[in-house]
Amino acid sequence: GENVEQHPSTLSVQEGDSAVIKCTYSDSASNYFPWYKQELGKGPQLIIDIRSNVGEKKDQRIAVTLNKTAKHFSLHITETQPEDSAVYFCAAGGQGAQKLVFGQGTRLTINP
Amino acid sequence: DAGVIQSPRHEVTEMGQEVTLRCKPISGHDYLFWYRQTMMRGLELLIYFNNNVPIDDSGMPEDRFSAKMPNASFSTLKIQPSEPRDSAVYFCASREAGRINEKLFFGSGTQLSVL
């Protein structure tokens, strides 16, 4: 089955700097890669996703890149703000598979 | 829509007791998922339903766990008997039918503590 590895487990950056979180997956059949943000006391919330027919996707300050050959994808947050502090999860899912496999999560802290 | 609604928000119980967690998915969503979140194992899928029918329960850890979805607007996750290692945050999520692996909408979770 699918296995998703996420790094780093914790990340601390200065406000205004960029943050990058990386994930690798094992199943070459996976073709859907979402990123979820979890704030304290809340459930995860989708912030961006990418499908395997696209190499990069942007939405304002966040972007995701995908390298299918290497089986890795990354989340990039630019011009970080205090409200970006949260736990971020990557996930991978395959065609016909209704379930997602999540990475272990990255606790991002933005220092003022 | 109020989103996915879970109850209770917090549950503290003693080992051996029965625990029932409840979930109301977003109206019109055909898929319902139960996840468990722990520090050690992260977010794990326990079971998911499509149109009220359990499709994959391979993530259910033991026979002590059971889940039901008697209608489109209600699901329960039951643990009987509960054990301290069941302590975790349990999330319910729902999504629309149609596209594969489309956006999941999570509830706020139930924090379960088994003493």
Residue B103 confidence (pLDDT) above 90: no
> How near does any CA of chain A get to the CA of B68, in Å?
18
For B37-86, the pLDDT digits (tens) are 998 888 999 999 999 999 999 999 889 999 999 999 999 999 999 999 99
> How near does any CA of chain A get to the CA of B95, in Å?
10
Burial of residue B30, with CB atoms counted within 10 A of its CB: 0-12 exposed, 13-18 middle, 19 or more buried: middle
**B56 contacts in chain A (CB < 8 Å):** 98-99
**Do B93 and A43 lie within an 8 Å CB cutoff?**
yes
**Do A105 and B91 lie within an 8 Å CB cutoff?**
no
For A66-84, the pLDDT digits (tens) are 999 999 999 999 999 999 9
Take residue A39 and report the two structure tokens written for it. 């704030």
For A34-75, the pLDDT digits (tens) are 999 999 999 999 999 998 887 899 999 999 999 999 999 999
- Other C-beta atoms lying within 10 Å of the C-beta of residue B72: 17
CB under 8 A, 24+ apart: contacts of A4-7: A4/A90, A4/A91, A4/A92, A4/A101, A4/A102, A4/A103, A5/A103, A5/A104, A6/A89, A6/A90, A6/A103, A6/A104, A6/A105, A6/A106, A7/A106
Residue A96 confidence (pLDDT) above 60: no
